[in-house]
Chain A
Amino acid sequence: MGRKLLLEHANVPGIETFEVYRRNGGYRSVEKALKTMSPQNVVEEVQASGLRGRGGAGFPTGMKWSFLAKPEGVPRYLLCNADESEPGTFKDRYLMEKIPHLLIEGMIVSSYALGCNQSYIYIRGEYMWVLEIVEKAIAEAYANGFLGKNILGSGYDLDLAIAPGGGAYICGEETALIESLEGKRGNPRIKPPFPAVKGLWGCPTVVNNVESIAAVVPIVNDGGAEYAKIGIGKSTGTKLISACGNLVKPGVYEIELGLSVEEFIYSDEWCGGIANGKKIKACVPGGSSVPILPANLITKTAEGTDRLMTYESLAEGGFATGSMLGSGGFIVFDEDQCIVRNTWNFARFYAHESCGQCSPCREGTGWMEKVLRRLEHGQGHMHDIDLLAEINKKIEGNTICPLGDAAAWPVAAAIRHFREEFEWHVTHPDEAVKRNFGIASNHMPLV
């Protein structure tokens, strides 16, 4: 059993209330930080912890914080990104629903570290009942003197509010989130200037994922060095993984980074193996945007070493034979699943969610969706497969925000690893609409 830093008390009855949370050691990090540490000390602890952004990009949180501009007399803002919308990802919802005070505690300590007096949590609009849970917890924190003026007599003031989105995936991109929080359409901004210099209402702003902010609590409580002892290399600490798809026990798990993928999928302590006694066909380990891995590359890398749940190990082999840890949205496919259908499904998602600002993404995602739909329904041509690769190249790197890349990568990876299945859809159009291709040769070890 690995250590639990975030979800340790998640199943204590009544933990969503201030009283029970406090009795279980809650808000200790606020007392420690505000009474014994300077803001700079907190930043240093987070830097020492090696914590990397848990939203998907994995950028070191401490470094992101150090970029924040601090001009005199201009307010600074901390925004929590709770617009969790990446298909396969539902960890932040779990954390906020179960243990909302952990997020609030993290927001207080992080805001103190960054010198913010007003912070916001931006939550996706569909999570309206979660918003109500968090808002209730915020009110409790105010009532108990952990938010508002002169917190714990330290002279530090902080106001915290929560704002809903309206069902737009794009608002998980930090500049789109800022636009949305300003009451506008969620069109990402051209960078630079980066939010750290010009963000919300033109002021310096930091945007962090829910889980990153929650992780600041144990980092301050136990020290960054202690946190960094967990994990392997540059993948430190624990990570929430939301496992879904054809698994015996889908759900949210907190793992120590460095756990082997094999153990995570097959051990009864975690996902318990593939549902209905079937074989694994493929896995998307970090949310729908990351490359798909065929059966032979999931538990082993191309070199034959064990694949681990770390940023580095999952990425080993680059895009040719690796993938990414991403947001921790771990999607598993059994032998009955159709890769073409799934790729089409994801392409449809991106076509639906493209904000329409940049032509390559707006048009390209729509074309990919159409071509893939054609293939899936047995109406495709052999040259469609190369056409997809062509469209891919024209989107990737040619857009303001990474949604274009996120739409292109899964298609490219699916064709790279499952080309014969795409070709089979063209050569066997009648069969393609009736049955699935199965695992084919991809379960064989690479030689």
Chain B
Amino acid sequence: MQENWTHKMSISVTHNYTDQPEPEFSAEKLLEVQRFINMYPEGKQKSALMRILHLAEEEFGGWLSVPTMNYVARLLNIQPIEVYEVATFYTMFNIEKPGKVVLEVCRTGPCMLVGSDQIIEYIENKLDIKVGQTSADGMFTLKTAECLGACGYGPMLQCGKHYHEHLTPAKVDELLDTLRKEHSDK
């Protein structure tokens, strides 16, 4: 799989265009948004963009649809294109809808030295998918990530905000079971 910066650039944001209405943050989350904006001097509200995009992903199904990005643009009083260009640059933002649970396994040097390739292969076989794909039940999306800063505690993967370190096949089994239970009724 060829993967470099052009890969993500080539996904036009129109691919995920839907006629869905723009989502809206709850009153409580809007207060959060205001707190992020207040961290910056007046007129520099655009600086809060990344923080708000992370929040939007969390709130609106784990990805950034075009309506979501348009909504964020409106909140910050900036052009939608300013949001699109940021969302497509940073690899953490999903601009296509992933499975309910996204597993990102670190594959960079230090993790590779302690067996990340084997862990990736193990998950691929267990879920019967390849890296970049989502399991048939729509539960798990498997991705690889570049160095996540847990080099001494590898092999490891990130799921949501959490790191799972010192992975073994047995630990992966346990983790997948727990995640499946947690998310099956959502």
- Chain A residues with CB under 8 Å of chain B are 75, 84-90, 93, 118, 120, 124-129, 161, 163-169, 180-186, 201, 242-246, 250-252, 284, 288, 329, 331, 333-334, 337, 341-342, 345-346, 348-349, 351-356, 362, 365-366, 369
Contact B113 A166 (CB under 8 A): no
Contact A331 B149 (CB under 8 A): no
Whether, in the assembled complex, B60 has its beta carbon less than 8 Å from a beta carbon of chain A, the answer is no
Chain B positions within 8 Å of A245 at CB level: 110, 113-114, 151
Q: Report the minimal beta-carbon distance from B88 to chain A, rounded to whole angstroms.
A: 9
User: What are 8 A-B pairs at a CB distance below 8 A?
Assistant: A85-B147, A88-B110, A89-B151, A126-B158, A129-B162, A161-B39, A169-B146, A184-B46
Chain A positions within 8 Å of B54 at CB level: 125, 128, 164, 166
Chain A positions within 8 Å of B152 at CB level: 90, 242-244, 250-252
Distance in angstroms between the alpha carbons of A246 and B113 in the assembled complex = 7
Whether, in the assembled complex, B181 has its beta carbon less than 8 Å from a beta carbon of chain A, the answer is no
Contact B92 A88 (CB under 8 A): no
Chain B positions within 8 Å of A163 at CB level: 39, 47, 50-51
Contact A244 B149 (CB under 8 A): no
Smallest CB-CB separation from A90: which chain B residue?
A: B149
- Chain B residues with CB under 8 Å of chain A are 3-6, 9, 39-41, 44, 46-51, 53-54, 76, 78, 82, 85-86, 89-93, 107-110, 112-114, 145-154, 158, 161-163
Contact with A353, one of B146, B148, B149, B163 (Cβ below 8 angstroms): B146
Distance in angstroms between the alpha carbons of A185 and B81 in the assembled complex = 12
Q: 4 other contacts beyond A88-B151, A181-B47, A333-B113, with CB at 8 A cut-off?
A: A129-B161, A183-B82, A185-B89, A365-B4
Q: Which 3 A-B pairs have the closest CB atoms?
A: A166-B90, A167-B92, A250-B152
Chain B positions within 8 Å of A166 at CB level: 50, 53-54, 86, 89-93
Contact with B4, one of A125, A161, A352 (Cβ below 8 angstroms): A352
Smallest CB-CB separation from A351: which chain B residue?
A: B4
Distance in angstroms between the alpha carbons of A118 and B38 in the assembled complex = 12
Distance in angstroms between the alpha carbons of A85 and B92 in the assembled complex = 14
Q: Report the minimal beta-carbon distance from B112 to chain A, rounded to whole angstroms.
A: 5
Distance in angstroms between the alpha carbons of A334 and B161 in the assembled complex = 32
Q: Report the minimal beta-carbon distance from A55 to chain B, rounded to whole angstroms.
A: 14
The prevalent SS among residues of A at the interface is: mixed
Q: Assess A331 versus B93: contact at CB under 8 Å? Given A345-B108, A356-B6.
A: no
Contact A180 B9 (CB under 8 A): no
Contact B49 A126 (CB under 8 A): no
Distance in angstroms between the alpha carbons of A171 and B149 in the assembled complex = 15
Distance in angstroms between the alpha carbons of A287 and B154 in the assembled complex = 16
Smallest CB-CB separation from B160: which chain A residue?
A: A128
Chain B positions within 8 Å of A181 at CB level: 47
Q: Report the minimal beta-carbon distance from A404 to chain B, rounded to whole angstroms.
A: 14
Contact B5 A352 (CB under 8 A): yes
Contact A128 B161 (CB under 8 A): yes
Q: Report the minimal beta-carbon distance from B39 to chain A, rounded to whole angstroms.
A: 4
Contact with A331, one of B53, B78, B113, B158 (Cβ below 8 angstroms): B113
Distance in angstroms between the alpha carbons of A273 and B150 in the assembled complex = 20
Smallest CB-CB separation from A126: which chain B residue?
A: B148
Which of B76, B93, B112 gathers most chain A CB within 10 Å?
Answer: B112
Chain A positions within 8 Å of B153 at CB level: 90, 250
Chain A positions within 8 Å of B154 at CB level: 244
Contact with B44, one of A85, A182, A345 (Cβ below 8 angstroms): A182
Contact B50 A164 (CB under 8 A): yes
Q: Assess A201 versus B44: contact at CB under 8 Å? Given A88-B151, A90-B149, A166-B50.
A: yes
Chain B positions within 8 Å of A185 at CB level: 85-86, 89
Chain B positions within 8 Å of A161 at CB level: 39-40
Chain A positions within 8 Å of B48 at CB level: 183
Smallest CB-CB separation from B40: which chain A residue?
A: A161
Contact A125 B50 (CB under 8 A): yes
Distance in angstroms between the alpha carbons of A124 and B163 in the assembled complex = 14
Smallest CB-CB separation from A86: which chain B residue?
A: B147
Contact B9 A356 (CB under 8 A): yes
Which of B9, B50, B82, B161 gathers most chain A CB within 10 Å?
Answer: B50
Q: Report the minimal beta-carbon distance from B184 to chain A, rounded to whole angstroms.
A: 24
Which of A90, A127, A183, A355 gathers most chain B CB within 10 Å?
Answer: A183
Distance in angstroms between the alpha carbons of A354 and B3 in the assembled complex = 12
Smallest CB-CB separation from B110: which chain A residue?
A: A244
Chain B positions within 8 Å of A165 at CB level: 50, 90
Distance in angstroms between the alpha carbons of A268 and B109 in the assembled complex = 25
Smallest CB-CB separation from A373: which chain B residue?
A: B2
Q: Report the minimal beta-carbon distance from A413 to chain B, rounded to whole angstroms.
A: 14
Contact with A168, one of B44, B85, B90 (Cβ below 8 angstroms): B90
Which of B89, B90, B147, B150 gathers most chain A CB within 10 Å?
Answer: B147
Chain A positions within 8 Å of B92 at CB level: 125-126, 166-167
Chain B positions within 8 Å of A242 at CB level: 151-152
Contact B149 A183 (CB under 8 A): no
Contact with A369, one of B4, B49, B86 (Cβ below 8 angstroms): B4
Contact B86 A349 (CB under 8 A): no
Distance in angstroms between the alpha carbons of A185 and B147 in the assembled complex = 20
Contact A331 B109 (CB under 8 A): yes
Distance in angstroms between the alpha carbons of A246 and B151 in the assembled complex = 11
Q: Report the minimal beta-carbon distance from A250 to chain B, rounded to whole angstroms.
A: 4
Chain A positions within 8 Å of B161 at CB level: 128-129
Chain B positions within 8 Å of A93 at CB level: 149-150
